[in-house]
Structure 1
Amino acid sequence: LIELKSINDEDLLSQLADDCLRDILARVDHNDLDQVASLSRRMRRISAISRSKAIMLEATSLIV
């Protein structure tokens, strides 16, 4: 099992205010929002609110 370590394991993202997180998440694409939403209930709620303003990327392929 490979354990990824960062420089600082402290959770700084959770310390940000909701309005700050919404502004940040409005600048990412829908795929990134899906990943952020899986982190916690709070992130899922904020991701859902930010989805209407998020970047929409053009589809490059379709897998059926």
Structure 2
Amino acid sequence: MAKLDITMGSDEVISRIKQLQSGGGSINKKQVKQHDPELMRSALYYFPSWEHAVKNAELL
């Protein structure tokens, strides 16, 4: 099994999600997976689920 290449820190994951939200982009799991797989991979590395990552971004 290939090692996941995590290129973002958790703070960068949060800021990318916030950028998507404020820029009117979709934070729909399926869409992010298609358009920004790196963000999805990193988010799932730091958070138990995509929903957790989004919730954290909304709280900060």
Q: TM-score, normalised by structure 1?
A: 0.30
Greater relative contact order (Cα < 8 A, sep 6+): 2
- TM (normalized to structure 2)? 0.31
